[in-house]
Amino acid sequence: MKNVVLIGFMGVGKGTVSREIIRQSGVVALDTDDVIESMENRRVKKIFEVEGETYFRDLERRVATWLSHSVRDTLISTGGGFYKVPNLNLIGKVVYLYSDFESLYQRILNHPHAKKKLKKRPLFQDHKKAKELFDQRAPQYEKVADIIVDVRDKSAQQIAEEIIKKAMK
Ligand code: S3P
């Protein structure tokens, strides 16, 4: 299996879907934000606060280089801005989880720990700014994607099944 790279906007459910794919298929998985937090021994939120976004994006590019050289047969979930790294497609098959902005915003608000979910995301502090970022990114996600999966009105289980069928077989 080629690596499968899950991309999409904050809150679309990349982590949840990744856990469900692991459950259904037993594939090995990692998350780029987790790798960055381990490298830095601090949270993404802290990295943004102390070092700024440019520093964080540089870490993403370093992780991308490592992934493309050294990681095989793995499901890779990513932070919402990771899709911008150069040569994303060299890492693996790119799967874009698509939802409209209001649906993914509602998905976050419906979570029992909604406040925490929003707080840990520096670029999701303001609804209007986040919507602008979404509008700006939406066509770019589509452009780099090999496969687009519309996640609206589907359970994590259904989405995982679809990804396994379309990208992992
Ligand atoms: C970001 C998304 C976050 C995290 C960082 C930046 C973005 O990940 O990487 O806060 O630029 O969209 P999630 O998509 O998991 O929230």
- Residue 1 confidence (pLDDT) above 90: no
Those residues with Cβ within 8 angstroms of residue 5's Cβ, 6 or more apart along the chain or in another chain = 76, 78, 88, 91, 92, 93, 94, 95
17 lines ligand 1 (CB under 6 A): no
pLDDT at residue 23 in the model: 98
pLDDT tens for 155-169 read 999 999 999 999 998
The model's pTM: 0.98
Q: Which of 17, 33, 129 most suits a substitution to test ligand 1, by most atoms within 8 Å of the C-beta?
A: 33
pLDDT at residue 87 in the model: 95
123 lines ligand 1 (CB under 6 A): yes
pLDDT tens for 65-89 read 999 999 999 999 999 999 999 999 9
